[in-house]
């Protein structure tokens, strides 16, 4: 049976995940789906009810609010906590029906639609024996990415207001939209946010802390072929789908998401569509170094050029767009206390914080590049972007305790010389 007396942060989380906020890659609006504003407007209202008089949602669905420094006159730099309201379109986004599996014993958990949580697939489950697991019913993702971060920030604000004895800097809260489709800060107003350091509360397992991400780009290959009746196609047809398939097949098999880990980059064809006359492939390019990303761009262009020579009747175009950069250099150059304070706060709290590379990106990637150092803090979640996603009651409590400790550390030490 699920526990009946749930911590406030968990109750918030369960309320928030039930709101469908799935983002849409094919939309050109901000937010990409109007339903994201349902959660954003709720958060703005709840922040106002907590006493944050400037809490508001803007036209794009971003939420901004301020919590005054304590004590008044604090010289610590203003600090922001950031999370995103949208969920990934990689798995069904709603309606989410969360379930709590109390006192986990290490066995396989059977959900609906044949979905099972199995330690053989997710060995991290065995690190959570005795925890109260939170999952969806198996038909959707859970939405811990990043409604766990949203709930943690909201509860942190409520707790800090109730604990005026805790030192804190001027604290800004910001909830973004469309992070899952790479547009999380497209319309964010940095001047309005008005802080010197920020943290995205958008990480994974308890104790993980991230300040290094991939460099990311996307290559789009478009092939204009020549169509003709296949019975009379010799020396006439240029099959666009065949040409795209040849290019993709020439990518290094050992440099795919399913064959790489740690600091290894990859090529990931994530969308292929078309017919004989027109075809398109979109390829994610990822690497932890700028030189490595450049090499991947050059290889895609070389493969396309080779295909153009082999198929002179076809027209082949390549467009490559940068998405975000590795945030480590930006953070260390701007204010490395964003990193050192995070580890010091964890030590004071008595937990071990460990660096975790982000094999992807966060809103913090682009915020750091824009001049706002923004590392990423854990939320306790696992198996994001899937119906296997899970978190635990205890992990949410641990993440909340750490976020409050981090804010307090900045309140006590942020005014010291950088």
**Active-site annotation, residues:** 86, 179
In angstroms, the CA 154 to CA 151 distance is: 5
Contacts of 113 (CB under 8 A, 6+ apart): 138, 139, 387
CA distances from 267 to 26, 62, 129, 274, 286 (A): 21, 32, 37, 20, 7
Token pair 């489709």 is at which residue?
181
- Largest Cα separation within the chain, whole Å, is 83
How many other C-beta atoms are found inside a 10 Å radius of the C-beta of residue 273?
Answer: 11
CA geometry: angle at 178 spanning 175 and 182, to 5°? Answer: 120
In angstroms, the CA 368 to CA 374 distance is: 6
Query: Which of 388, 380, 370, 410 lies closest to 189 in space, CA to CA?
Result: 370
Backbone CA torsion sign across 304, 308, 314, 319: positive
In angstroms, the CA 35 to CA 13 distance is: 18
Give 177's DSSP letter. S
Asked whether the beta carbons of 417 and 335 are under 8 A apart, the reply is no
In angstroms, the CA 172 to CA 170 distance is: 7
């Amino acid at each position: 049976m699920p526990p009946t007396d749930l911590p406030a942060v968990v109750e918030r989380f369960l309320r928030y995940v039930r709101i469908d906020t799935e983002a849409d890659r094919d939309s050109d609006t901000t937010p990409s789906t109007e339903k994201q504003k349902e959660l954003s407007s709720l958060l703005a209202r709840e922040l106002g009810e907590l006493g944050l008089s400037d809490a508001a949602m803007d036209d794009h669905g971003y939420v901004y609010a301020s919590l005054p420094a304590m004590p008044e006159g604090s010289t610590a730099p203003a600090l922001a906590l950031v999370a995103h309201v949208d969920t990934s379109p990689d798995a069904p986004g709603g309606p989410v029906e969360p379930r709590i599996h109390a006192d986990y014993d290490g066995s396989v958990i059977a959900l609906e639609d044949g979905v099972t949580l199995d330690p053989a697939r997710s060995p991290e489950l065995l690190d959570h024996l005795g925890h109260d697991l939170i999952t969806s019913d198996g038909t959707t993702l859970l939405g811990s990415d990043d409604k766990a971060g949203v709930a943690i920030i909201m509860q942190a604000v409520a707790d800090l207001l109730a604990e005026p004895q805790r030192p804190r800097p001027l604290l800004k809260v910001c909830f973004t939209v469309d992070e899952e489709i790479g547009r999380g800060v497209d319309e964010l107003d940095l001047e309005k946010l008005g802080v010197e350091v920020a943290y995205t509360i958008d990480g994974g397992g308890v104790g993980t802390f991230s300040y290094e991400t991939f460099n990311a780009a996307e290559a789009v290959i478009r092939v204009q072929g020549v169509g003709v009746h296949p019975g009379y196609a010799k020396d006439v047809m240029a099959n666009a789908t065949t040409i795209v398939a040849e290019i993709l097949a020439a990518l290094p098999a050992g440099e795919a998401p399913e064959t790489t880990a740690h600091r290894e980059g990859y090529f990931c064809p994530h969308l292929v569509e078309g017919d004989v006359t027109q075809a398109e492939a979109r390829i994610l390019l990822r690497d932890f170094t700028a030189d490595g990303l450049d090499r991947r761009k050059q290889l895609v262009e070389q493969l396309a050029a080779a295909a153009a020579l082999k198929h002179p009747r076809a027209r082949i175009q390549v467009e490559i767009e940068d998405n975000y950069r590795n945030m480590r250099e930006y953070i260390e150059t701007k204010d490395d206390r964003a990193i050192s304070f995070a580890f010091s706060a964890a030590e004071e709290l008595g937990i071990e914080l460990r660096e975790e590379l982000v094999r992807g990106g966060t809103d913090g990637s682009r915020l750091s590049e824009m001049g706002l150092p923004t590392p990423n803090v854990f939320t306790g979640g696992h198996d994001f972007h899937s119906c296997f996603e899970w978190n635990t009651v205890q992990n949410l409590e641990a993440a909340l305790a750490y976020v409050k400790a981090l804010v307090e550390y900045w309140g006590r030490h942020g005014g010291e010389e950088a």
